[in-house]
Amino acid sequence: MNQVMPDEDLMYQALANKDASFEGIFYVGVKTTGIFCRPACTAKTPQKQNVEFFPTAREAVLNGYRPCKLCNPLGYKGDMPDWLQPLLKELQDNPDTKVKDRDLKRRGIDPNRVRRWFKKNHNMTFQTYLRTLRISNAFGRIKHGDKVIDAAFESGYDSLSGFTDAFKKSTGFSPNKSKHQQLIKVTRILTPLGPMLAGATDQGICLLEFIDRRMIETQIQRLKKLLKAELIPGSNKHFDELHKQLNEYFRGERKEFTVPLVLMGTDFQKRAWRALLEIPYGATRSYKEQAESIAHPTAVRAVARANGDNRISIIIPCHRVIGSNGELVGYGGSLWRKCYLLNLEKKMTITYSEKK
């Protein structure tokens, strides 16, 4: 499959700006050194005439380039390092575990290294992550029948007041309201198109957006209002399946997603999104055709707005809707991602013009 990349001027600008949003979209080979790098490599930017671009790390290797030791282009940026995996697995199995610096040292892990990794990859401290896990676990216990005081002490808190304050700070509501509230667990998922923010309730996936999307904060606020819920980092039973199915999709091994979805919007929006789900893998529709499919042939602009409000990218495939003239238009995740997804599904070359 010939993967289409953005034009070379755009890629070189991304390289010069160390733009991490192009992670996985291209790799750059430096002719003068014989190495290849990620777009956001911290090495000095080479002159444009001394670089060439590749859609995959494999192609860079096949063209004789060696991987850069600074940015490690043979792995996902931000992927969990081997030294951290046992600790996070332990915390996932026992979310109430308290881990101090001395406990990390006893495990042979440098506390400063852990702090730097969490700050860089999750924009939070390690201790904030631990507190979030404990609060999330306590919420689940209370919601399913445990007394607040039992959940507090089983979560490792020494006082009920301390637990209540921490709970309200994390969730926005007091523990005794848990049975009537909902939390949206969120996590970051790495993809060939860059990191995505996934959100889920007990019922299913309600959020899947590229982290660098301009409207992501607005979408999050709308979702919180619609579900009357707060977002909190944590694990959810649907995340493992979501991650598995996304990996299969990007490898070209999956055409349909089966992970359960939570669609929150107006009746019109839901009809528009369900129409998107009916577009076959590898096919495209115009906005007019989508409007006709929901029996609103004149509501083309309303359909376009509904597509823009889709908060579950890729799975609800708004990337399969194109202009009536065949042009790629209207994708919140950026047109080069839309181009990539359509090429992945069609296994053919689609080009687009980047607006300057």
- Token look-up 């238009």 returns 329
Catalytic residues: 318
In order of 44, 71, 154, the CA distances from 122 in angstroms are 26, 18, 26
Output DSSP code: residue 145. T
Strand partners, 286: 322
For the chain, strand residue ranges (E) read 27-30, 35-37, 51-54, 66-67, 182-189, 196-200, 205-210, 229-233, 285-286, 321-322
Q: How far apart are CA 108 and CA 105, in angstroms?
A: 5
Q: How far apart are CA 142 and CA 214, in angstroms?
A: 36
In order of 33, 144, 230, the CA distances from 236 in angstroms are 45, 15, 15
134 by DSSP, 3-state: which?
Answer: helix
